[in-house]
Amino acid sequence: MRFYMILLFMTSLTFFSCPRLLQDRPFDEYPVYSGSDLGVYWHPEYTSFRVYAPYASAVVVNFYDSGNGGSVKEKVKLKKGQEGTWVTTIHGDHHGVYYTFQTKYQGKWLAETPGIYAKAVGVNGNRAMITDFSRTNPPNWHMDKSPRMLSKNDVILYEVQIRDFSIADNSGMKNKGLYLAFTEENTVNTYGLTTGISHLKALGITHLHLLPAFDFRSIDESTGPPMPYNWGYDPLNYNAPEGSFASNPFCAETRIREFKQMVQALHKQGIRVILDVVYNHTGYTENSAFNLLVPGYYYRHTPSGEWSNASACGNETASERPMMQKFMIESLLWWMQEYHIDGFRFDLMGIHTLETMNAISRVLHQHNPSVFLYGEGWTAGSSPLPDSLLALKVNTPKLDCIAVFSDDLRDGIKGHWNSETDRGFISGASGMEESIKFGVVASCLHPQVNYRKVLYTDGPWSDDPAKTINYVTCHDNHTLADKLLLSCPTASPDEIKAMHKLANTIVMTSQGVPFLHAGVEFMRSKQGIHNSFESPDSINRIHWDLKSENRDMVSYYRDLIEFRKMHPAFKMPSAEMIRSHLHFFPSPPGVVSYVISGNANGDSAPNLAVIYNATRKSVPFSPGNGTWQVVFDKNGILKVPLMTQVKVLVPPLSALVLEEL
């Protein structure tokens, strides 16, 4: 998510209002609750409530019969508990009862809120529901297991927005725009080619990255289809699934059960699930659940008392404060334990502190050693905390088992993210070779990379290849096809295709973790729209018939993924191993070539030579003495390798991989 999302949040009347700091004591003097029972917990014979609101003068819980409409049927006062909390218990089985909290400060009752720990919510997330979560489990949920993952270097990420995945008329899926679309197998497009989850399995990805699927505020779930569109980077209830993706957003249990069915179906197909999380800011500010419980505490502020705004969305959360850090950890654990989520992508991770991110990593890895964590190593504006404390890209070596996106390789490949006309290595820009080499070695230290010529950095920022996410496109900005069409208006259709292939060939044959944008394998377009966060479905939907129009592209991308899986040499587990086994050849402008030698990382190939030719002419290439065979070219994996003993001609705008016999 980028700072242009500010447009969405300007609709809030509280956008730049001053925070109501109702206490004059410093935030670091606030008590810290050490227990693990914050929120609402159902038991067969009673339900317990515990709310953190240390300086409220009173706290009540209001009960309702439904998630919307009607009046309060009962109001119960909470009593002061330990370490700044308020508690109460009600007896009996209250599964299905909706509730809100209210706090009183300086003689005034603040607005109702479901609370920050709400785990089941009604339509539009305004009320939470007491829930026996065992009643939300689909059949055989207790048998659901995450697919096996040998190493984090084996991860192949694929990013999709839930609604985009199935909403098109030609998707072949019945549950359009919903969680349940991911449970439909053997769906086909207009021409009979597979779509949906069967397409993902055949493609060969290992992890599906879902854009925000927690309950966000920008869509009115009560209107029914067609609903307005939004990516969802405006958090409302962090611990409950979004209702607009459910078949019945009015029923709290439905969205929970259907989310679980989605995860279960993906796991069955051998695909792990990543959840995009947005703890760096909230959709509302003064009227957020955080601020209605503990005014001011969960946010950073400028010296003059304004809301600090490193997110460019109206506020930024204060992960350095113990109760915010505690909330983030417990929220992530909830998604892992209740929904079997396998990893998380952190939006604007650079806003969070290194201390908090490392605490998250430590706890989550204790629960699941194979959990995969990564995020954006930047902010969208200035923060009051010094850069040395934040989870920024430059501080990646200080992060523990957390990966960061490489914008250096991204823009080195295709050109600047915020320019329609700027070009990169694949589209003819000069001087991008070192940025490509930097990506090839996963942003790590390598003696043959001239860091003075690398985009956005003057030195290696990663100490571990598994900490680098290599990509060329994501939901932000233009799709790859649109970017190439706009920046290369005179290129022929064949040249556009060739550049498109070359872009992700670089990503897939580089060290580090590759990341693909949904639909890139068949040249997805958003009709040239740069920022589609609230564009209609006609712009954002995945046009599945493109798979038939671009069958050769789909075959090529499938081969790319298979080829990477075949060769451990592309997945070396340490920067030291990369330096020992990967060496670049001298190459002319517009060309990058290298060899991976010595059966690197246990590869069956003694030596692999790779060349990227971004020029408009054929380039001769000799990998060295010995007998070599071309095993991958512009059409994908060669069924019958091409033998060579001297040199080969690398076609324009293409890549070759050779293996020494």
Which residues are known to be catalytic? 347, 376
DSSP state of 520: G
SS3 annotation, 558-626: HHHHHHHHHCHHHHCCCHHHHHHHEEECCCCCCEEEEEEECCHHHCCCCEEEEEEECCCCCEEECCCCC
Q: How many residues does the chain have?
A: 661
Give the Cα separation of 200 and 126 in Å (integer).
Answer: 35
Give the Cα separation of 448 and 452 in Å (integer).
Answer: 12
What order do you get walking across the sheet with 607-613 strand by strand?
582-584, 591-597, 607-613, 654-660, 628-633, 636-644
Map residue 184 onto helix, strand or coil: coil
Asked if 420 and 409 count as a contact pair (C-beta separation under 8 A), the reply is no
Q: Token pair for residue 381?
A: 């504006």
Give the Cα separation of 212 and 279 in Å (integer).
Answer: 11
| Lookup result for tokens 């308020």 | 86
From 348, 320, 345, select the one nearest 335 (Cα to Cα): 345
Asked if 333 and 367 count as a contact pair (C-beta separation under 8 A), the reply is yes
Q: Token pair for residue 222?
A: 């009560």
Q: Token pair for residue 358?
A: 């490392």
Asked if 348 and 342 count as a contact pair (C-beta separation under 8 A), the reply is no
Asked if 216 and 191 count as a contact pair (C-beta separation under 8 A), the reply is no
C-alpha 29: how far from chain center: 34
Give the Cα separation of 160 and 171 in Å (integer).
Answer: 14
Q: Across the strands, what pairs with 649?
A: 620
SS3 annotation, 211-267: CCCEEECCCCHHHCCCCCCCCCCCEEEEEEECHHHCCCCCCHHHHHHHHHHHHHHHH
Residue 171 contacts by C-beta under 8 Å, 6 or more apart in sequence?
A: 165, 181, 187, 189, 195, 196, 541, 542, 544
